[in-house]
Structures are given as structure tokens and as C-alpha cells.
Structure 1
Amino acid sequence: MRIAYSVETVRAAERELMARLPQGALMQRAAAGLAAACADLLGRVYGSRVALLVGSGDNGGDALYAGARLARRGAGVTAVLLNPDRAHGGGLAALRAAGGRVATVGGGAAGAGAAGGGGAAAAGGTATSGGAAVGGGPMAGRGPATDGSAATAGGAAAGSGGMAAGGTAAGGAAAGGGQAPSGGQVAGGVASGSAAPSGGQAAGGVASGSAAADRGLTDGGSEANGDAEAAVARADLVIDGIVGIGGKGGLRPDAERLVRAVRGILVAVDLPSGVDADTGEVRGSAVRADATITFGTYKPGLLIDPAHTHAGALRLIDIGLDAHLPADPDLEALQHEDVAALLPRPSAESDKYRRGVVGVVAGSARYPGAAVLAVSGALRGGAGAVRYVGPAADTVIARFPETLVHSGPPAKAGRVQSWVVGPGLGDGAAAKHSLEDVLASDVPVLVDADGLHLLPAGSDLRKREAATVLTPHAGEAAALLGVSREEVEAGRLAAVRALAERYGATVLLKGSTTLVAAEHQPVRVNPTGVGWLATAGSGDVLSGLIGSLLATGLPARDAASVGAYLHGLAARRTTAPHGAPIAAYDVSTALTDTWRDVLA
């Protein structure tokens, strides 16, 4: 299971861990993992061009230390400082000592100070002959390098050869710059495309015959302000260390312009700059990374749209936080093994009634197909029998002769272990009575589509004897909350939590990243959904599937989570390998093989 924690929780865990580690060790762990991941993406480090987009937070420090590691392996690394006076002093020292270069945005030489004989940035103070920045700099008090040498990304002293990407210095000790919680994010950034390698470089990271010489690098390894964008544009890989996990809002114009210049692989540090780590919201332009390397634990925004679509491929780096994180995360994402453990299995003594009977109240003269699709999902959800109640009985029987049918009302249709009500039901008096009948029962109920429209405003479903599951899409959720659809889509996590609290129900909010919320429990995000599921009737199949899982005895939150997972996986199976249009019934027919795949 993937789990995610809020920024506040992550920072508290980092503080606890840092109190037990040598100064700066946590940043070195993060930088080592970041450098290793970037090396994997590059394929060949030696001779490649790497640009670092460096802000004032610790994400910028992670990027600088990782850049130093890559430089020691023969990459030509240029750090572009968006706020030179507040750049991480220890990281700058390590990068310069490794042969990296520095460009600035906003005027002036990088670092606002002179580099000493060891190549370390003074960062407002004076560099010693060993290269460590001392005194006066913005990083003062966070741990200068010891033993007269600038710290490298792995914690080894510069000049000692450092360590290969992915390694860690003995004991994890980090010199120079220390470590603060990996925070400080503002939102914003712009999409960048796929890799476009632009040629090799000579050993030591200087581009042979390239603009590095033509644009006039200074002896201290700094480029003029106007060269920053060119350095980004020619890079094979760009590391986004602009802001950290605590920021809000969009990128500033200088940062946005630089991100638009990216032509190579774009890798985000911890999360893409411009996305909200806690909510997944994107307020303004945001970096759209090819990959995001995150540290310690996933952050909710990495798993929830719209931010999720900006993260690219995700890679989690273990930095030792697990022992300091609480047992209950803020967000969960089930994986294959989690779903396999929850799937119901009949015993040798099972009969169709012991396996559970799901009742389906769906369809109308106008929408008979909704009944067929809901029943199709229910038949493949693990229950022993499906009992259909409604006006589309003839249509349902013609397609699925194994279905038990009844004209209604639901209370007189026979015993069931769960109900599904709403798909294609209409809004007439009979539909309202059917909803009231089902909600008055003592078994779990799933309410979808027209059933949600008929649900009385402010209904407190806690008063029911059994669980209730609501499955709205964004428009239906907006109506239930009395807000705009745009507000729901921009803040999906807040919306699903608000619905669960207001109605006292388990809520499955359908969408590009489907969310499942229940009171006092972590929200679950479904990782299997695909855009091809946005087709008429797919929600009816999902309702029947979840209702069937409820009838087998799965708790409401588990039934909704497992149903969404199988539903998305069935769509992926149907559209594989390259994606193709599908119909809702295609998803239903793929569920049996999908179930088998999960158990394999």
C-alpha cells in the first residue's frame, strides 16, 4: 500500500529524525537518492549536461548536493539560482568543489560572495582555504563543513573523490549547510516535454566546444544572468529544486520562464514546484515533471489530481522516516496485494445465499440500459445472486437470465444483503419511493446517479442501521455540497472529506483520481483509473460491482476501494496496450479476468 502524510506530519517526523542524526545527514540521504535516480534516467552520466533550478528552500539544497554528485561522475552541471542571496551555502560549496557552475537570475554574481581556493561559495561570508563557507551567510548556524573541506552530496569531504551517486558517507555525516525539514514550497511551474539530449561533454563537465565557453564562464564558475535560460535549454536533464513541500501559489515569472525553456528530462525534487503537497491543488502554472523523486513518504498531492498529473513517474527514496511517522496516514492507495487480500472467496460450504445477494434498483423506461449495466457489474462482484427490482426486468432477463427479478417495491422483493439504487432511475414519484424504501432497510446501501439527485438535502445517513455509500461525480458532488463543480474539481480531497462528514456516509468521488472517504479514517485514492473510463454507463457498472462486494460482507470503505480498483484495472486491460475507446459493457466483461489477474 502506498501511504501519504501531510506536510505538518512530515516535518514533525523530520525534526525527530534529525535530532538523532549528525547535522545535515538527512539532506545527504535525500541528495544521494536524488542523484542515483537522475543517473538512472540519464543512462550515462559522464558527458551529460545537467541544470539545477535552485530556490531558497531545502529542496534547492537537495538539488545542489545531488548536482555535486553528478558533477563528480563527469556530468557538466550548472546551477541556476533564483534567489542567490538565499541559496543553500553548503550545497553551493559542494557543487563548486565538484566542478559545477553557477548562473543567477535577477542580476549579480551567484552566491553574493567570493569563492575561496576550495571552490566553496562564501554565501555572504568568506571562504576558507579548505572551501567551506564560514560566517555571515544565510546558512550560518545550520552546520558549516568540518575538517576544512566543503561537504559533498554523500557527506564525504570535497577533494577526497566523494562517493558514487546513490552512496552514503560512513555514518551519514553531512558537512556544510546542515539540514532542515524538507519544506518551503510555492506552487507554479510549467509543463516540459520529453528528453532531448543535446550532445556530450568533456570530462569534468565542461561542454566541449559548447556555449559554456562561448558565453564566457568566469574563473569562479559563474555565468552571467542572461545565460541561465540557455543553460537550462541545452541540458539533458533538469532538476526542479525551486520550492519545497510547504509552498502555495504559482511560480514567479523568472521561474516560469526557466521551466518553459526545458527541453530535456525534467525531474522534480520531492514534488513539482507549483502543486500543493497537502491537497493536490494547482493554483497557477506548475512544473509538469517527467519524474518526481520524493523523500521519506509520499505526499497527498502526488497521488491526487490535478497535481498528480504534474508528477510524472514517482520514485520514493527511503531516508529513515518510517519509525517517526504515525500509524494512520492521511492518504492510502491500495496495490495489487492489498486488493487480493480483501477479495471475497467462497468456502466449500458456500451457497448462493451465503455468498450474498445484491439488490439492484435501477433503470426506467427512458434509461433501461442503466439497469442492464448495473446488473452486469453486480454479477461479477462476488455475490451469489443478483435481485433486480424495477421496470426494466424484461430487458435485464433478456441479457442476464440468471438474474432474479421483481416489479417492486424493493421492500417486497425478497431478502438481500445490500442494495444499489439510482442508476437511470429517473426523478418521478416511484423513484423517490424506491429510494426511501431502500434507505429504510437494515443492509448496506449504495446510492448513485438519480438516487443522489433525489437524496434530501442535509440527509444524515448515520441514522441508518447499516453503512451507506454515495458515489457522485464532480457535478453531483457539487450539488450535494452546494458549491460549484469547478470548486470540487480544484479541491477534490477537501470535497470528498466534506461529503463524508456532512452526510455520515462512505463517499466515492469519481474522477481522474477516484477518492474514497469515510469519517475518522484515511482517505483512499484509486491508482488504476484511466481517461477511457469517461464513457456513458461506466459508473453504472461500478455501482453494481461495489454493491455486490457489499453483499459479500466487505465493509463499505473496502468495498468502494476494491470496486474502484478492479473497475479501473478492467478498463486498462480492455484498452491495452496503447489505449482505445471502450464501452461500459466492455469494462464489465473484463472484470472476471481482472479479478483473476489480481489473485495471480
Structure 2
Amino acid sequence: MKLIYTGESIREAEKPYVQAPDYNGYLMQRAADALAEEAYDTLVSHGAPPHSGRVLLLVGPGNNGADTVYAGVRLHRLGYSIDAVLFDPTGRNLELIAREAGEGTRVLHTEQSLRNISDYSLIIDGILGTGARGPVRGEAGEYLGYLRSLQQLGTLPPVIACDIPSGVDSNDGTLNEPSLAAVRTVTFIGHKLPTGTGTAEHCGSIRLHTLGVPHALDNTEPALRVLETKDYRRELETPTVESHKYTRGVVGMLTGTPEYPGAALMSVHAAINTGVGMVRFGVNDEKLHALMLAHNPETVCFSGPARQQQVHAWAGGSGTTSSEPTNRYLIEAPEPAVLDAGAVDTVAEYLLTGKRLTAHKILTPHAGELQRLLAALANGLAGRWADLMQNTPAPSRDDITRQPLRWVKTAAALTGATVMLKGGYSLIASPADTVYSVRGATAWLATAGSGDTLTGILGALLAQKVAAAAQCGTPLEDDVYARVAALAVYLHGRAALASLGGRRGPVPPTRVAQSLPQAIAELLEY
């Protein structure tokens, strides 16, 4: 499992080292070594002749600026010409250049550097680091804005970032423009928050160097967790020779309506192909039942009250509105449940009665659905909202897109449920404040019906997990629901890739569902 931290928590973890009586600056020197090594590798990989070419340093006032200066000294020793533009009102790093670099580094005004910007083989961004909040301002902001416009036109040399791209907030992952997109970010001590959110794409290839203190973060709580293949394999339940359809898990599906039958067909098909023991489908409509059995003959359809069905977990809401009566049952049922689409809107109505959910209810909103939920809670639960958020108003959809970690944690805290915010990077928050991140396998999954398929996958996995726990006689811990949700997103993505043989292109949700057995088989081989 990869652990991701806020910049603030990493700075706290550094303090025992840098405040030690015998500290001699070795962390900065090791950071400079790592930055120079990665810069050299970037130069070579982008076609610059070894040991020749020009490198431009963007030097801010803090330790990132100093790391960049020292890296420039090392690159000069390798034969590169080094220029630097300083944004340092303290003069600290200008003195550092004079002392350490001498004539090996030319200090330029911004205008001078721009005259022949295309002559540089590489730019190293060391303006701001993990202590900065908000956008880059003043002269540095204007300069970065101009460079960013060149970058968007494709005329800027490659950029590598020292620790974090300037303008990216390491405490919440927000990308504040102007900010240069890096082909590589060289980060130190531990992974920082842009990793694991959509902002990671702005950071390019992220290279971690622990600087010889690999245990510095052992007692630090991560902001995000990213499961690896071995972790997903461990979460996947598999049958034994004693297994039968009831011990394999029974999931009840309350998805779709006569007006939107596709949501029902796709979600049930995905649940079946995820390997659950039985799928019971309970939307009470004869035509929909006939359609379901024609497409998915493995399904057991029922017409009576849902409470009379014996299932390990429920999944529903896909293809419905908040007025659908079955959504209320999903919320109130004693069994764990996946609450998608219309069921998420129903959750807001339920919570406004003063009730609260628990971790075994998994909400799966996209940004727009989460915005509606939080707006309803901010208006209807003003006291609880004020206790948690003080004077912060309900977010817009853009706010959620810019700060997904903040708002998925807020939703979990307010509802008491496990909340999955779907997107290119899906974030899953438990009410205990643990958050998992799963990177989407392909942007081609952003299509109608994709969420319905994911609902079926998650419902099936949840039923299997509950059934396995029942066999062992052990209750599930709250964090398990978040990990199962992460596994669902992972398998969703792997099935999409499997459906195209590893290539890229359109992936209809029905193709994703068809490829789930292959994706699961590949995971079992790991």
C-alpha cells in the first residue's frame, strides 16, 4: 500500500532531524543530489546531449529554492550551463549562489530569460514548496503565467518540479494557476497529496527519494492510501470446495425503472459477472422482469416486499430518482447497501429527519450528485454543518472538482456513511477519516451506464465480503467497506482494459461487464 501525506505532516516529521544538535544540512544535500540525478536523467531522456546544454533554474526564497541552487551546482559540474531567475526578496538564495556556484550560475532578470527560452534543454521549478498556500503571486506569478502560456502552445522546454510544482497545494491537492505542468516531480521523504488526486497528472512522473530517512513517517497518519495489486488480491473473496451459492453471497438489486431499464440490465449483468453466488432483482414490473430474464437468465426476480428477501447486501438507486420508494428501503435496511444516483438524493431527505447512516452504507456520487447532497445538508442541517465547517458555505461542483479530498471527507463525516466520489481519481472516505484513492484505468469509462456497471460490481463484492464474514463469525470493521469500494473501482478499470486487449479506445459499459471474469482471473493469478 502506498501512503500519501500532507506537506504539513511531512514538515513535522522532518523536525526531529533538522533540529538535532548535530544536524549539518544533510537532508538538503541529499535532496540536491536526487534532484540533479533526476534532472540529468530527464535531460538525456528528452534527447539533450549528455553533459551539454542549458538549464534554467526558477529559484524561490525557501528550501526548495536552495535545493534547486545546489542541484544546479551539481549539473554545472557535469558540463551543463546554468542560468537562474530568482524570486527571493530575502536574498538568501542569491547569497547561496554567490557562495556555492560562483561563476557557474548566471543570475538573469525575467526578461533576459524569456528572450531565448527555447534554447534551454530543461527548466527546474523551485519557486514554492510544501509550505506555500494559494496561487503564486506577484512577479513570480506573472512570470509563471507567461511560461504556462508557452507550455500550452507546446513551445516551452520540459519542466521538472522540486518536491512539488509551484502553485500546487500539498495540504489539499488543489491546483492553483498559474502553475507549470511537470514531466517529472522529484519529491522527498514521502509522497505528498497531489499524488492520489487528479492534480497528479500535473506532476508528471513522480519520483520519491526518502533521503536516507525511510522511517521518518512511521508515526504519521497519511492523508490518502493507495492500494496496490497485492492488496486488491487480498480483498477479493474466492470460493472453496465447500462453497455453495448462498455462502458465495446473495446480492439484492433495486436498480432501474420501467423508464430506465438499461440501468437495471447493466448493473445486474455486472453483478453476475463479478462472481456473486446469486443476484435477486426486485423492481416490481413484469415487463422489466421479462426483459431482465431475457438478457440475464441467471437472475432471480422477485415481486414481493424487499424486506422479505434474504440477502447479504443490497445495491440500488441507479436509474432512479429520489422519489423511488425502494431507495428509502436501501437506506433503512439492516444489510449493507450500495446507494447510487437517485438513492444519494434520498439520503439527504433521510438525514434531514435527524437520523444518521453508518459505514455499511456506501454512497457512490459523482461530483454533481455530491454537490446536491452537501447543499441539502448545509441548508437543512445548519447546526451540524456549522460545527464541522464553521463559516464555509456549501461547495459548488467546481469546488468539489478542485478539492475532492476535502469534500468527500466532509460528506463521510456529515452522513456517517462510506462515501465514494467517482471520477478520474475516485476517492473513498470512511466515517473514521480513512481515505483511499483509485486512479481510473481509462478516461473512456466516462460514459452513460458506467456508474450502473460499477454499482453492480460493488454490490456483488459487498455481498461476497459479508457472506465470508458470516461464515467466519466475525463482524466487518468499518474500514473494510471503503476497501471493498476501492476493489470495485479497480476491477471496473481492469475489465475496461481487458475488453480492449490492453489497447485504448471506447469502452461501452456492457463490454466492461463482459470482461469482468477475465479481469478477476488476472487478479487471481497475481
State the partner residue of 1:531: 443
- 1:410 and 2:306 matched: yes
What is the deviation of 1:85? 4.5
Q: Distance in 1 between matches of 2:166 and 2:350?
A: 38
What is the deviation of 1:344? 1.0
Instruction: Answer yes or no: is the 8 Å Cα contact 2:321–2:341 preserved in 1.
Output: no
Instruction: Answer yes or no: is the 8 Å Cα contact 1:249–1:284 preserved in 2.
Output: no
- 1:149-181 superposed Cα distances (whole Å, 9 cap, x missing partner): xxxxxxxxxxxxxxxxxxxxxxxxxxxxxxxxx
Q: How does 1:172-321 map to 2 (within 5 A)?
A: 226-230=111-115, 232-251=117-136, 252-261=141-150, 263-305=156-198, 307-321=199-213
What is the deviation of 1:89? 5.3
**Partner SS, residue 88 of structure 1:** helix
Q: Distance in 2 between matches of 1:572 and 1:242?
A: 39
Change (3 A) 1:70 1:19: same
- 1:440 and 2:332 matched: yes
Structure 2 unaligned spans of 5+: 376-393, 467-479
State the partner residue of 2:381: none
- 1:581 and 2:506 matched: yes
Instruction: Answer yes or no: is the 8 Å Cα contact 1:567–1:587 preserved in 2.
Output: yes
State the partner residue of 2:17: 17
Structure 1 window deviating more from structure 2 (467-476 vs 283-292): it is: 283-292
Change (3 A) 1:3 1:91: farther
What is the deviation of 1:380? 2.7
Change (3 A) 1:466 1:357: farther
**Partner SS, residue 246 of structure 1:** coil
What is the deviation of 1:49? 2.0
Identify which of 482, 486, 498 aligns with 2:410.
498
State the partner residue of 1:6: 6
Change (3 A) 1:11 1:582: same
State the partner residue of 2:247: 354
Identify which of 547, 550, 564 aligns with 2:459.
547
Report the TM-score when normalising by structure 1: 0.75
Q: Distance in 1 between matches of 2:271 and 2:502?
A: 27
What is the deviation of 1:95? 5.4
The alignment-based identity, stated in percent, is: 34
Instruction: Answer yes or no: is the 8 Å Cα contact 1:80–1:103 preserved in 2.
Output: yes
Q: Which amino acid aligns with 2:40?
A: A
- 1:338-387 superposed Cα distances (whole Å, 9 cap, x missing partner): 11121111122111111111111011111101011111221133421111
Q: How does 1:346-495 map to 2 (within 5 A)?
A: 346-390=239-283, 391=285, 392-412=288-308, 414-428=309-323, 431-432=324-325, 434-457=326-349, 459=351, 467-482=360-375, 483=394, 484-495=396-407
Q: Which amino acid aligns with 1:236?
A: S
State the partner residue of 1:185: none
Structure 1 window deviating more from structure 2 (551-560 vs 292-301): it is: 551-560
What is the deviation of 1:578? 5.3
- Higher helix fraction: Structure 1 or Structure 2? 2
What is the deviation of 1:572? 3.5
Change (3 A) 1:242 1:438: same
Instruction: Answer yes or no: is the 8 Å Cα contact 1:467–1:506 preserved in 2.
Output: yes
What is the deviation of 1:397? 1.2
Q: Distance in 2 between matches of 1:590 and 1:269?
A: 41
What is the deviation of 1:257? 2.5
**Partner SS, residue 514 of structure 1:** strand
What is the deviation of 1:401? 0.9
What is the deviation of 1:445? 0.7
Instruction: Answer yes or no: is the 8 Å Cα contact 1:17–1:321 preserved in 2.
Output: no
State the partner residue of 1:29: 30
State the partner residue of 2:384: none
The CA RMSD measured in Å over matched residues stands at 2.3
Instruction: Answer yes or no: is the 8 Å Cα contact 1:2–1:333 preserved in 2.
Output: yes
Q: Distance in 1 between matches of 2:439 and 2:305?
A: 38
- 1:230-271 superposed Cα distances (whole Å, 9 cap, x missing partner): 354311111111111121222321333245456221111111
Q: Distance in 2 between matches of 1:576 and 1:27?
A: 45
Change (3 A) 1:340 1:393: same
**Partner SS, residue 104 of structure 2:** coil
**Partner SS, residue 281 of structure 1:** coil
Instruction: Answer yes or no: is the 8 Å Cα contact 2:278–2:299 preserved in 1.
Output: yes
Instruction: Answer yes or no: is the 8 Å Cα contact 1:229–1:261 preserved in 2.
Output: no
- 1:48 and 2:53 matched: yes
- 1:505-562 superposed Cα distances (whole Å, 9 cap, x missing partner): 0000011211000122421111234321110000011111111111112631111111
Q: Distance in 1 between matches of 2:39 and 2:277?
A: 51
Q: How does 1:62-211 map to 2 (within 5 A)?
A: 62-83=67-88, 85-88=90-93, 91-93=96-98, 96-97=101-102, 99-105=104-110
Change (3 A) 1:327 1:96: closer
Q: Which amino acid aligns with 1:393?
A: H
Q: Distance in 1 between matches of 2:355 and 2:212?
A: 40
Instruction: Answer yes or no: is the 8 Å Cα contact 2:357–2:417 preserved in 1.
Output: no
Q: Distance in 1 between matches of 2:26 and 2:343?
A: 55
Instruction: Answer yes or no: is the 8 Å Cα contact 1:458–1:502 preserved in 2.
Output: no
State the partner residue of 2:383: none
Q: Distance in 1 between matches of 2:359 and 2:126?
A: 49
- 1:340 and 2:340 matched: no
**Partner SS, residue 570 of structure 1:** helix
Q: Distance in 2 between matches of 1:479 and 1:240?
A: 38
What is the deviation of 1:575? 5.0
- 1:269-319 superposed Cα distances (whole Å, 9 cap, x missing partner): 1111111112121233222111111111111123212x2231111111122
Q: Distance in 1 between matches of 2:408 and 2:359?
A: 20
Change (3 A) 1:9 1:258: same
Q: Distance in 1 between matches of 2:368 and 2:327?
A: 20
Count of aligned residue pairs for this structure pair: 475
Change (3 A) 1:30 1:375: same
- 1:53-83 superposed Cα distances (whole Å, 9 cap, x missing partner): 1111111111111111111111122122123
Q: Distance in 2 between matches of 1:560 and 1:443?
A: 16
Report the TM-score when normalising by structure 2: 0.85
Instruction: Answer yes or no: is the 8 Å Cα contact 1:54–1:63 preserved in 2.
Output: yes
- 1:378-416 superposed Cα distances (whole Å, 9 cap, x missing partner): 11334211111113222221111111111242113x211
Larger Rg: 1
Instruction: Answer yes or no: is the 8 Å Cα contact 1:237–1:264 preserved in 2.
Output: yes
What is the deviation of 1:427? 4.7
- 1:559 and 2:448 matched: no
- 1:116-169 superposed Cα distances (whole Å, 9 cap, x missing partner): xxxxxxxxxxxxxxxxxxxxxxxxxxxxxxxxxxxxxxxxxxxxxxxxxxxxxx
**Partner SS, residue 85 of structure 2:** strand
- 1:568 and 2:463 matched: no
Change (3 A) 1:508 1:94: farther
Instruction: Answer yes or no: is the 8 Å Cα contact 1:82–1:254 preserved in 2.
Output: no
